[in-house]
Amino acid sequence: MTINTQHKRILGAAITLLVPLVLLFTSPGIEHEQSWCPFLRLLHVPCIGCGLTKSLVCAYRGDLSASLAWHPFGLVVIAMALLLLALSIHDLRHGTRWGDRLLNHRLLWPLLGTLLAVTYLIKLFHHFLH
């Protein structure tokens, strides 16, 4: 049995949603722990994804303000993973391709890329101000 696209998407979305959930219970004070980011550790400058895991854990805890403070894209990641999980399950059951349509939409990636770049520039601005 080969793993098709929907199975891969379901697995990827599930892992994306489950890893922070596991960390919520195994690292209750994760926001106070040292960052795992090698970029931040070596260069003392945050990378574009710094704070994303902590953002997801805080969102699961229900602390949306802390989630947004760690990384505004944490909530976007959760929403996209849930949407992709639902669409992929639907596609698998009904033989449709809604997941493909979402991921191949011509505006999705330029929009998300631009928002992520702006968010990162703001994060860098704040990092160098402090």
Three-state SS for 20? helix
Whether the CA torsion 56, 58, 62, 65 is positive or negative: it is negative
Q: Is the pLDDT of residue 130 over 80?
A: no
Encode pLDDT of 17-55 as tens digits. Answer: 999 999 999 987 887 787 778 888 899 899 999 999 999
User: Given phi > 0 = left and psi -120 to 50 = alpha, else beta, which region is 44?
Assistant: left
pTM of the entire structure?
A: 0.86
pLDDT at res. 35:
79
pLDDT at res. 39:
87
Mapping DSSP onto H, E and C, the string for 46-115 reads CCCCCCHHHHHHHHHHCCHHHHHHHCCHHHHHHHHHHHHHHHHHHHHHHCCCHHHHHHCCCCHHHHHHHH
Per the prediction, the chain carries an average pLDDT of 90
Q: Is the pLDDT of residue 84 over 60?
A: yes
Q: Each residue of 41-52: b (16+ CB within 10 Å) or e?
A: eeeeebeeebbb
The angle formed by the CA atoms of residues 110, 115 and 10, to the nearest 5 degrees, is 70
pLDDT at res. 127:
86
